[in-house]
Structure 1
Amino acid sequence: MSVDVHRTPEERFTALPDFPYEPRYREWEGLRLAHLDEGPADGPVALLVHGEPTWSFLWRTTIATLVDAGFRCVAPDLPGFGRSDKPTDVGWYSYDRLVASLVDLVDGLDLRDATLVCHDWGGPVGLRTAALERPERFARLVAMDTGVFDGNQKMSPAWHSFRDFVEQATELPIGFLVNGGCATDLAPAVVDAYEAPFDVPAATAGARALPLLIPRAPDDPGAAAGAATQQALRADRRPQLILWGAQDPVLPADPLARLIGERLLTRAGEPQLIDGGHFLPEDAGAEIGERVAAWVAAG
């Protein structure tokens, strides 16, 4: 099946603030997908998976902190985001495809004993990969401001407003949305960096698709896979850590962080609240890196 694909011009990514990292590319299902691979090749692996509507730029300060601690950091741009190719048909995007793209990366790089670090839509994608698709490749799970959805969940009024807005939109003010989900205003250059991948309205198809992929009923597409992932995670015995933005307006810490610990990542213990909004790696990226590094070192 042929699909119309947009590739963001490289000049859109010049002079990104605090982002000295060079992309690496691979081919998957006819798309050129990008990822970062930073730090010592023999260091403990952290796989950092972004969500909606961000890209690997979100992780820049977390990566810097983890690399300083000796980690190898791998951070993909999911299809439709960052430097990765962007199918322009909203209907192309599915939960299964996003997961398949991540499985291709972890297999292609032969990642082993990895620590998954996931945010927002990186949670459904990364946690399903680690729990169901490739559990043998992951040693630890870190989740923040996220969930796994089976169609029975209740979402916040802010999320429903965002979904309704996206459903009617032909383009999205990406930088404005990210800034609004942070606890503090972003510098203009940072807002521009979140806008950079989306140089034409058609490039926002992935960002418009993902909110619509969250199932709202148990028979919606993706709900069964979400339920299977939930079941696998509840039985999972690997070390788990929950970090959450204390001021998250989209997925409020009270009650969602607690519910994730009680019903999904049951070995994580008490969620650790961090001063920040929904886009926690933007508000507190270095602190996230420090907490993850200390947690891994503590065994």
Structure 2
Amino acid sequence: MDFVRTPDKRFERLLDYPFEPHYVQLDNLRMHYVDEGPAEARPILMLHGEPSWSYLYRHMIPVCAAAGHRVIAPDLIGFGKSDKPTSIDDYSYQQHMDWMQSFIDQLKLTDITLVCQDWGSLLGLRLAAENPDRFRAIVVGNGMLPTGDQKAPPAFKIWKNFALYSPWFPIARIIRTGSFRKLGPEEMRAYDAPFPGKKYKAGARAFPRLVPMTPDDPATDANRSAWKVLEQWEKPFLTTFSNGDPITRGGDRYLQERIPGAKNQPHVTLKGGHFLQEDSPVPFARAINDLLATMA
């Protein structure tokens, strides 16, 4: 598997991202993660989606760490400071699951609170369902666990074709388009930092085509099995969807209806687009802290 590693100089002096880098080795690939807060505290695992990286959580990490939580925010393989296989065919749903399983195994994470959005939800919800004894709570914002049995919204089909076929794939502009607020030039630079050239973007281009769209998708059986676990999930399950995401709109109600642990939780609707971590980072972080305060 050929891969590239983004030069460290691309990440120098990024706005609002003072975090020390940490790494785990996944076979021949290196995965980067942020690890803030007390090392002995129960971890909050923040999983980003497409085409972002842990920079997306930069305003949330300090809020949760200041409340006494250990906050771990990895860069998925193909994103951020993590290594990037150069072929789209090197990426599959199951391969990403294997990488994440190895990640939590190597860090020996238990009592995890999952926080996830976008593809972070496709991976995180499966991860929690396949390791239920290691997770104590789940918080989902603008995310879902599709099986291919449901009809995808038109906005997603447009996005999938764009990611696969457009010769122009401007990472930072994509994130700005999916946010209510206008990102500044330094924030735009940070989102583009991991991707200095086309060969660095294979992972970002691959993700949309890996979403199960039909009942015979390679990931469908595993996702259906995960749903069987989630439909028995009694531990706290909180939704924090935004009010302006055309892709996941209505998903919060769907999750609340299917997952027992969502009953009587203080679900919130936050202001923002798809990337609600950009639009409402502090309210998002406070919703996590408030939930965990009730579990102390």
Q: TM-score, normalised by structure 1?
A: 0.95
Residue 224 of structure 1 deviates from its aligned partner by: 1.2
Aligned partner of residue 280 in structure 2, secondary structure: helix
| Partner-residue secondary structure (3-state), 2:269 | strand
Say if 2:39 and 2:70, in contact at 8 Å, map to a contact too: yes
RMSD value, Cα: 1.2
The one-letter code sitting in structure 2 at the alignment partner of 1:267 is G
1:178 is aligned to 175
**SS of match in other structure, 2:200:** helix
Q: Secondary structure at the match of 1:272?
A: coil
Question: 2: CA distance between counterparts of 1:171 and 1:100?
Answer: 30
| Cα distance in 2, alignment partners of residues 140 and 216 from structure 1 | 28
**How far apart are the structure 1 equivalents of 2:89 and 2:220?**
17
Identity %: 39
Deviation per CA, 1:172-214, whole angstroms, max 9, x where unpaired? 1110110000111111111111111011101110010000001
Shift, 1:216, TM fit:
1.2
Q: Does 1:98 align with 2:96?
A: yes
* Structure 2 residue 233 is matched with structure 1 residue 233: no
The 2-side partners of 1:237 and 1:268 are apart by 8
CA drift of 1:109 comes to: 1.2
Q: In structure 2, how many angstroms separate the alpha carbons of the residues matched to 1:196 and 1:46?
A: 25
Q: Secondary structure at the match of 2:189?
A: helix
> Contact 2:93–2:219 (CA<8 Å) still a contact in 1?
yes
**SS of residue matched to 1:282:** helix
User: Which residue number in structure 2 is paired with residue 41 of structure 1?
Assistant: 39
On the 8 A contact 1:169/1:208 being kept in 2, the answer is no
CA offsets 1:241-297 (integer angstroms, 9 cap, x no match): 011011113222xx222112223x342147420011110111111111111011111
Quick one: which amino acid aligns to residue 207 of structure 2? L
**Conserved? CA contact 1:182–1:280, under 8 Å:** yes
Matching residue of 1:272 = 268
1:147 maps to a residue whose letter is: M
Q: Which runs of 4+ in 1 moved over 2 A?
A: none
Q: Distance in 1 between matches of 2:189 and 2:195?
A: 10
Q: Residue 181 of structure 2 contacts residue 278 of structure 2 at CA under 8 Å; is this kept in 1?
A: no
DSSP 3-state at the match of 2:41: coil
Q: Which amino acid in the other structure matches residue 36 of structure 1?
A: V
Q: Distance in 2 between matches of 1:171 and 1:226?
A: 32
Does residue 157 in structure 1 map to residue 151 in structure 2?
no
Structure 1 residue 171: Cα displacement: 5.0
- Provide the aligned length of Structure 1 versus Structure 2: 293
Deviation of 1:78 (Å): 0.5
Contact 1:181/1:250 (CA < 8 Å) preserved in 2? Answer: no
Given that residues 171 and 202 in structure 1 are in contact (C-alpha distance below 8 angstroms), is that contact kept between their aligned partners in structure 2?
no
Match in the other structure for 1:167: 164
Partner-residue secondary structure (3-state), 1:287: helix
Q: Partners of 2:182 and 2:247 in 1: how far apart?
A: 16
Consecutive unaligned residues in structure 2, runs of 5 or more: none
1:13 alignment partner in structure 2: 11
Matched, 1:115 2:113: yes
Task: Write the letter of the residue equivalent to 1:262.
Answer: E
Which residue type is aligned with residue 285 of structure 2?
Answer: G
Which of 192, 197, 213 is residue 195 of structure 1 equivalent to? Answer: 192
Q: Which residue of 1 aligns with 2:84?
A: 86
Matched, 1:207 2:201: no
Gaps of 5+ in 1: none
Name the residue aligned to 2:287: 291
Q: Distance in 2 between matches of 1:281 and 1:164?
A: 25
Instruction: Note if contact 1:33-1:85 (Cα within 8 Å) is conserved in structure 2.
Output: yes
- Kept in 1, the 8 Å contact 2:152–2:213? The answer is no
Verify the 8 A CA contact 1:171 1:201 in the aligned structure 2: no
For 1:257, give the aligned amino acid: D
**Shift in CA distance, 229/170, structure 1 to aligned 2, threshold 3 Å:** farther
Deviation at 1:170, TM superposition (A): 4.5
Give the C-alpha shift of residue 74 in structure 1: 0.6
Residue number in structure 2 paired with 1:127: 125
SS in 2 for 1:185: coil
Amino acid at match of 2:278: E
Q: Determine whether 1:251 maps to 2:245.
A: no
1:29: how far off?
Answer: 2.1
